[in-house]
Amino acid sequence: MATVRRFGPISRVGIRNLTHIRQATISLLVNELLSESRLKVVGHAANPTGRKQVMLSVNEESSFVIGLDFDEEFVDVALLDLHPRVKQTLRERTNLSGGLDSLLRQLFAVVDHLICTSGVDASAMHGIGVGVPGLVNHRTGTVIMSSTIDFWKDIELRRIFEEKFGISTAVENNSRTKAIAERVLGAGDAAEDMIYVEYGKGIGSGIIVGGRILRGHSYSGGELGHTHIVEDGPACKCGSFGCLEAMASINAIEVRLRKALAEGGYSRCLELVEGDESKLTGWTVLEGARMGDKLCIAMVEELGQRLGLAMANLVNLFNPAVVVVDARLEMAGERLLDQIARIVQMQALSYATSDLDFRFGRLGSSVGVLGAGLLITEALFEIPVLKPPRFLLDRDVPPPRARGEHKIVRTANRSA
């Protein structure tokens, strides 16, 4: 299945060339997977001689996964096929006012609603991936703590979800799930060394080194928001002072905007909220900067300066090929990304930045649910053997399509 997913459409002969599994075993397994509708026939190879080889592909709708992602602002849940692609979504504002029990009830309710309205049989649900804020022991599925939600700590979330739904569940920090999603499906373009920077009420990063996500000894790797920026800065919820999160998060920007307005400053942000100051947020500042508002532009430039300095440290430490920045920051315009890139290039080692790419994320609001879903699909297609097949060991092994099988005659009934 993993070979077909990675190199399909592919023939039985192509599978044999890549894996070195015996042909009789391949035929047996393929027939079994076809009978279970986990594989499907998509046409025949245009090989010049001999019998036309049947081309196989993974049936990406043979089963489904649920991707659940939440932060301090929104809860997102989606039904995903095995690609994964979003088939159905639901979004709600996060309810933090009722404490842990209330939040868990909300998470249960959105998943229940999605399952009930999807029309998919429960037996076809392969798993639930959950992306959450804070430190997570991904091995046990336990939430350790969060600097932005006081009660979000010491929660055996995987056990709780599996007992509730009876479906295999994986739990991970959502900066990491989003990094995985952008690498596999988005702006990362499968880079082996990549950093994703998440921005919101918290600031985090997902760090990919040699194609593997970095978690750290106690699962706190990538906590960019709690790196020290200034000596005598404001208090941070982590217990320290002068952290990036306390200085540059979306909440910090909102506080700075309200202070400027209270001191007599003027901003076109008020037009965006029709004069209702209670509706002002840090996101309003980003919109105002795009509109050309002078106060907002100054605040966004300060944001870019601080993010750029923090990212320069990441670049020096991990030497990525690509830095993917949270797509929500694009609300302020390309100018912000250019500023971040310029500061990183000035502050980081020139050798580390000579061919470094900076990009906004491409997956938009779906990035969290896609990353959560990938926790399940990547595990599903993992090859749990001590001796991996040849195509995983030798990067120079081309897929069979490079050997003359790239031209396919599609069957008439193949679905879109």
Residue 415 in domain: no
Q: E strand or H helix at 92, and its extent?
A: strand 86-93
Residue 167 placed within a domain: yes
- CATH assignment at residue 25: 1.10.10.10
> Is residue 180 within 8 Å of 138, Cβ to Cβ?
no
Q: What is the extent of the structural domain holding 28?
A: 2-59+383-410
Residue 35 lies inside a defined structural domain of this protein: yes
- Same domain flag for 151 and 30: no
Q: What is the CA radius of gyration of the chain?
A: 24
Q: Give me the phi and psi of 225, to 5 degrees please.
A: -65, -15
Q: 110, 92 in Cβ contact below 8 A?
A: yes
Query: What pLDDT is stored for residue 407 in this prediction?
Result: 46
Is there a domain that residue 48 lies in?
yes
Closest CA to 405 of 55, 29, 25, 31: 55
Q: Based on the fold, state whether residues 397 and 266 are members of the same structural domain.
A: no
pLDDT of residue 237: 84
Q: Are residues 243 and 288 in the same domain?
A: yes
What pLDDT digit, counting tens, does each position of 311-328 carry?
999 999 999 999 999 999
Question: pLDDT tens-digit profile of 70-86?
Answer: 999 999 999 999 999 99
Is there a single domain that holds both residue 37 and residue 112? no
Instruction: Report pLDDT for 51.
Output: 77
Note the pLDDT of residue 402: 43
- CA 111 → CA 54, 79, 127, distances in Å? 39, 9, 12
For 137-176, the three-class secondary structure string (H helix, E strand, C coil) is ECCCCEEEECCCCCCCCCECHHHHHHHHHCCCEEEEEHHH
> In a structure prediction context, what are the per-residue pLDDT tens digits for the chain, which is 416 residues long?
999 998 989 999 999 998 889 999 999 999 999 999 999 999 988 777 767 889 999 999 999 999 999 999 999 999 999 999 999 999 999 999 999 999 999 999 999 999 999 999 888 999 999 999 999 999 999 999 998 899 999 999 999 999 999 999 999 999 999 999 999 999 999 999 999 999 999 999 999 999 999 999 999 999 999 998 888 888 888 888 889 999 999 999 999 999 999 999 889 888 899 988 999 999 999 999 999 999 999 999 999 999 999 999 999 999 999 999 999 999 999 999 999 999 999 999 999 999 999 999 999 999 999 999 999 999 988 876 556 666 666 655 555 544 444 444 444 443 33
DSSP state of 127: E
Quick one: pLDDT at residue 390?
A: 65
Residue 211 is predicted with a pLDDT of 93
Residue keyed to tokens 């429960």: 122
CA–CA dist 311, 113 (Å, integer): 39
d(CA 62, CA 40): 10
The alpha carbon of residue 236 and the mean position of all alpha carbons in its chain are separated, in whole angstroms, by 26
Q: Indicate if 114 and 211 belong to the same structural domain.
A: no
> In angstroms, rounded to a whole number, what is the distance separating the alpha carbons of residues 235 and 246?
7
d(CA 202, CA 73): 11
pLDDT of residue 239: 84
Write phi, then psi, for 80 (nearest 5 degrees): -125, 145
Residue-level pLDDT at 106: 98
Q: What is the pLDDT of residue 392?
A: 63
Q: Are 366 and 86 in contact (CB under 8 A)?
A: yes
Which H or E run contains 334?
Answer: helix 334-347
198 and 132 fall within a common domain: no
Provide the 3-class DSSP secondary structure of residue 204: strand
- Output DSSP code: residue 292: T
In a domain, 319, yes or no: yes
Reported residue count of the chain is 416
pTM over the 0.75 mark: yes
151 shares a domain with 279: no
CATH label of the domain that carries residue 347: 3.30.420.40
Using CB atoms within 10 Å of the CB of residue 152, give its burial: 0 to 12 exposed, 13 to 18 middle, 19+ buried.
buried
Are 202 and 234 part of one and the same domain?
yes
Name the β-bridge partners of 325: 197, 360
Domain assignment of residue 416, yes or no: no
The region that residue 13 occupies, defined by phi over 0 for left and psi between -120 and 50 for alpha, beta otherwise, is alpha
Asked if residue 403 and residue 354 are part of one domain, the reply reads no
Are 373 and 340 in the same domain? no
Among residues 274, 291, 367, the alpha carbon closest in space to that of 78 is found at 367
Residues 165 and 237 both lie in one domain: no
Can you tell me the distance from the alpha carbon of 137 to that of 114, in angstroms, rounded to the nearest whole number? 26
Q: Tell me the pLDDT tens digit for each residue of 121-144.
A: 888 999 999 999 999 999 999 999
Residues 260 and 338 in one domain: yes
- How many structural domains are present in the chain? 3
